[in-house]
Amino acid sequence: MKNLSILVIFLMLAVITAGCGEQNIESVYGTESSSVRNDSNSAASIIDSDADSSATSETSVGTDTRDIFSNRDFEVGYEESESALIKLNGDTASCSSDAVEISGSTITITDEGTYIVSGTLDDGMIIIDTDKSDKVQLVLDTVTIHSETCAPIYILQADKVFITMASGSTNTLSNGGTFTAIDENAIDAVIFSKEDLTLNGSGTLRITSPAGHGIVSKDSLRITSGSYDINCASHALSGKDEVCIANADFTMVSGKDGIHADNEDDASLGYVYIQSGTFSIDAEGDGISASSWLQIEDGSFDITAGGGSVNAASASSDSWGNFKGGGRHGGGQMNGFTGNSSGTSAAETDSTDSTSMKGIKASDSLTINGGTFAIDSADDSLHSNASLAVNGGTFEIASGDDAFHADDTLTVTAGTINITESYEGLEGLHVVISGGDIALVASDDGLNAAGGTDSSGSGGRDGMFGGPGSSSSSNGTILISGGTIAITAYGDGIDANGTLEITGGYITVCGPTQGDTATLDYDVSGTISGGTFIGTGASGMAQTFSSSKQGVISINAGTQSAGTQIQLSDSEGNTVITYVPALDFSVVILSSPAIISGETYTVTVGSSSNTFTAS
């Protein structure tokens, strides 16, 4: 909360009460709608050429991803007559190829080519150790491999390895609960690769790793088809340089992150790119985490991170009301007391906790171009340490901290966003909304321009990307030029630690009546020159717009109950705005292109009416 100056307001003479009801918003201009944009790219499931080529579209918004996949990444075909057949037989195996060495239950592939594996290995492993220039395709055709003390599949050296699940096959790989070193490499996954690794096919792969990761590549990890069921103690999927996915289905239960990319040596690597797929992720850490950029074109995502929002530390508004007298300084305000909110978020409560429990997280830019997302996270649901852009998609969010957080710029151009629970709904140094359909519930601020790296969203429990938060300053901005935004906030509805500018859109803010809360809260200026704004909330710290290019009506309606209808009519009796707040309220702020500055309007709250001149 900030100290701001007093703007003359109009006081309603009557105090009206009414029963509870549900929110209903109408206007002579109607509610602006926005379609969900989906710029998903689709690549062929089988491409015959081995040459690298673009498998993605140039239409996606964000990082250029045209060279992410090669044609070979999507190739699932093989000629059985030209392949080596490896038959697993309990504690040993058989193969006629000179490129396959068998020592007890250890099978080593030493040359490039295609190898078809079938059968069961009770306690053993397959090692790929070829020349650095070799490409190897390993086809799993109804395989069960268990390794009590190591990785069932270990890729030591090759140029690139392709693991293909044969059509209709179900394959099972598991570790017994310990990883014992067999060389200088720290093998800690059921599939462990030192080289580029691609998985594909039309079969199923089941992985159980009670002491480590599911699939790890110390280079690039790409998955372009297949069905995967992974249960592991650490990361389900991990790639050092990248994790790139298309056309695959996943069920993951992980003791750390579901999908994890991290390159400590090169800041441009450690990225995650998802073109399409179906993802069910239950992660004790982050659902999806990238130490570099992260981009999603399309897909279906059901993510629970850190046990979900119920696992977050409690952040309550009950301590608000730290009144110290005096008024706010700056732009338009309503009479009241001053004070500072002392509510704290989950991350602010425990800034030393090293476990990050975010839904989708990127250290660099995070771009969502489409997809369907159901995210329940103990910490932020979508988080970027840089900028976050939502250009489409459908979101159902329950967050123990911020639903959407960017340390720098948070942009929403399209999409349908429904936030049922959050500490703050949308937070960034700069919040820019030009489209989309947004409905949010926040225990603190609905929209917040933090004015710096805010500890509630980026410090605290940020694990790999953690760091101390800094206090808010006045260089934050909120710009709304379009979209439909419905805010129910128990702190400030819109809080700009800097400037607020509304040039379009249809915005409703429903705030509480207790404590140091305000429908609008800004440090420098709050302007409106287009769009419709309907806001209700507390009167003690209330502000209205500091300047406008369309009419604004700001009134104190006394103490009103949730469900009390507000109606604005022009001088001829035509209804301009009708709104039913879902929370108790005192202040009403209305602005619309249909409201003309200097004209007289009638405001009816419940059964009482008064006339006011629009400013």
The tens digit of pLDDT for each residue in 50-59 reads 434 334 444 4
Confidence of residue 321 (pLDDT cuts 50, 70, 90): very low
Confidence of residue 473 (pLDDT cuts 50, 70, 90): low
Which pLDDT belongs to residue 437?
98
Which pLDDT belongs to residue 456?
46
Taking the chain, what is the end-to-end CA distance rounded to the nearest angstrom? 25
At residue 342, does pLDDT exceed 80? no
Report the C-alpha gap between 333 and 338 in whole angstroms: 11
Degrees to nearest 5, angle at CA 287 with 176 and 352: 95
User: Any idea of the CA torsion for 589, 523, 527, 579, to the nearest 10 degrees?
Assistant: -20
At residue 37, does pLDDT exceed 60? no
Give the residue, 294 or 342, on which the prediction is more confident. 294
- Hey, CA dihedral for 298, 303, 305, 310, is it positive or negative? positive
- Mean pLDDT over 439-445 rounds to 97
* 135: exposed, middle or buried (Cβ count in 10 Å: 0-12, 13-18, 19+): middle
Residue 304 identity = T
Report the C-alpha gap between 128 and 108 in whole angstroms: 6
Which pLDDT belongs to residue 338?
24
Which pLDDT belongs to residue 42?
29
Which pLDDT belongs to residue 459?
35
Which pLDDT belongs to residue 80?
95
Which pLDDT belongs to residue 397?
98
Name 63's Cβ contacts closer than 8 Å, sequence gap at least 6. Answer: 271, 273, 293, 295, 365, 367
At residue 319, does pLDDT exceed 60? no
- Mean pLDDT over 514-530 rounds to 94
Least confident of 4-13, 132-141, 261-270, 384-393: 4-13
Confidence of residue 62 (pLDDT cuts 50, 70, 90): confident
Element (H, E) at 266: none
Least confident of 90-104, 342-356, 529-543: 342-356
- Mean pLDDT over 141-156 rounds to 98
Residue 170 identity = T
Closest Cα partner for 273 from 196, 385, 368, 382?
A: 368
Which pLDDT belongs to residue 88?
98
Confidence of residue 349 (pLDDT cuts 50, 70, 90): very low
In Å, how far are 44, 54, 297 from 57, measured between CA atoms?
A: 12, 8, 10
Report the C-alpha gap between 576 and 422 in whole angstroms: 32
564-596 confidence digits (pLDDT tens): 999 999 999 999 999 999 999 999 999 999 999
Name 314's Cβ contacts closer than 8 Å, sequence gap at least 6. Answer: 346
Residue pair 435/412 in contact (Cβ under 8 Å)? The answer is: yes
Percent of the chain with pLDDT over 70: 80
**Mean of the per-residue pLDDT values for the chain?**
84
Give this prediction's pTM. Answer: 0.84
Which pLDDT belongs to residue 354?
53
Residue pair 108/86 in contact (Cβ under 8 Å)? The answer is: no
In Å, how far are 35, 161, 193 from 129, measured between CA atoms?
A: 51, 11, 11
Helix (H, G, I), strand (E, B) or coil at 49: coil
Give the residue, 39 or 63, on which the prediction is more confident. 63
- Mean pLDDT over 144-163 rounds to 98
| 8-state DSSP, 166 | P
